[in-house]
Amino acid sequence: MDEVISLFPTPFLRAPAALPPLLVQGLLEHFSAAALQENNASANLSHTRMLKPSDSPLLLDVASLITPKLTEFGALMFGERMGWSLKEMWVNVLDSGGRQAVHNHANSFISGVVYLTPTDESSRTVFMKSPGGHDFSFKNDHAGVVTGPFNADKWISPMPSLGDMVLFPSYLMHAVPPNAGARRITLAFNAIPLRLDSWGYTVGFSG
């Protein structure tokens, strides 16, 4: 029998209700008004300064819930359960009409998003293939094409609920389309391992 094998798949973790409602509400009350930094991608997108867990007891609670998930996800990426550090965190406020341009996250290995408010169907996070040279230079793209995991250019993440979290490799390109609904608030973060060891050549990281 023929067999199709998915070579080198990209891991993506979805953790429903990763943060409890009371913690989500506390984050909203404490950080929504602090999202004062403008984003050049959209006039209707702003965010807080870069935060560390030690900046707030609320963020310490977040870190205690997220870090075990980082350990599990990191084992998928690197083949070993190891220590992880939340390098930075920030809160995004996306008002109606706002969008987030295509980007990835430099100087980190795992990135994540926690959804703090309801998300309109229009502004679900979209993940894209890297624009690098991994595809043929010709495409078959017309109304009759059936899109699947091996020919798709993008993937729209499932509709999130309050407190849901997603984790993904930091190199993965992603964006948020124009928000046609109410204000959308998320907590984003980057994480790094404490160290990587390649047959005795060890590199340590400090958050």
Whole-angstrom distance, CA of residue 67 vs CA of residue 86: 8
Q: Please report the pLDDT score of residue 136 as a whole number.
A: 60
CA distance 178 to 175: 10
Rounded Cα distance between 204 and 158, Å, is 35
Q: What is the pLDDT along the chain (207 residues), one digit of tens a residue?
A: 999 999 999 999 999 999 999 999 999 999 999 999 998 888 999 999 999 999 999 999 999 999 999 999 999 999 999 999 999 999 999 999 999 999 999 999 999 999 999 999 999 999 998 876 556 667 888 999 999 988 898 999 999 999 999 999 999 999 999 999 999 999 999 999 999 999 999 999 986
Question: What span, in angstroms and rounded, lies between the C-alpha atoms of 139 and 143?
Answer: 13
Using one digit for the tens of pLDDT, what is the confidence trace for 2-36? Answer: 999 999 999 999 999 999 999 999 999 999 999 99
Q: How far apart are CA 86 and CA 73, in angstroms?
A: 14
Domain-wise residue ranges, the chain: 13-131+149-193
Find where tokens 């023929």 sit: 2
CATH superfamily of 13-131+149-193: q2cbj1_9rhob like domain (2.60.120.620)
Q: Is 46 left (phi over 0), alpha (psi -120 to 50) or beta?
A: beta
